[in-house]
Amino acid sequence: MLNNVAVQWALRRVPEFAGIIVTLITFYNSIPPQYQDTILKVASGQGGGLTVSAVIGLALWLYAQVVSFRATNRPQAVVVEDGKLVTNTLAPKKEKEVADVVTNVSSKKTLLDIVLGR
């Protein structure tokens, strides 16, 4: 049975789905209790009994999380622009300049190569 390609594919998905489930549980446990209650009500089909402010609050909180995640992953660098140090998002011409420098500096070594000293 383990020689079946479909079974092997399904077994390879088990850690993937387990990771997603653990991530969602951790996320759910880390959010404020009032948002947990709102999510439970919406997921169980009782969203009609929620106040508009609860739904708006949840939507705004989710929006803030997405914006925060995107800001964290946006390319940023500290550069001198017009005589000032700038640490926010770069202007397009500066972004290209910094990208060229970073491309020239980056190596083809993986983290494992660096740790093992290859």
pLDDT tens per residue across span 33-87: 988 998 888 888 777 777 787 888 888 888 988 888 887 776 666 666 677 666 6
pTM: predicted TM-score of the whole model, two decimal places: 0.41
Residue, of 24 and 92, whose pLDDT is higher: 24
Does some domain include residue 52?
yes
User: Residue 81 in contact with residue 89, Cβ under 8 Å?
Assistant: no
Distance CA 73, CA 86 (A): 17
Q: Are residues 31 and 63 in the same domain?
A: yes
Contact in structure between 90 and 75 (CB atoms under 8 Å): yes
Residue 84 β-bridge partners:
81
20 is a domain residue? yes
DSSP H or E stretch at residue 5: helix 5-30
Looking at the fold, whether 67 and 10 belong to one and the same domain comes out as yes
Residues 110 and 63 in one domain: no
Among the ranges given (26-30, 62-66, 80-84, 109-113), the one the predictor scored with the smallest mean pLDDT = 80-84
Q: What is the mean pLDDT of the chain?
A: 78
For residue 109, the enclosing domain spans: 89-116
Query: Do 25 and 65 fall within a single domain?
Result: yes
Average pLDDT over residues 22-29: 90
CA torsion, ordered 60, 66, 68, 71, to nearest 10 deg = -140
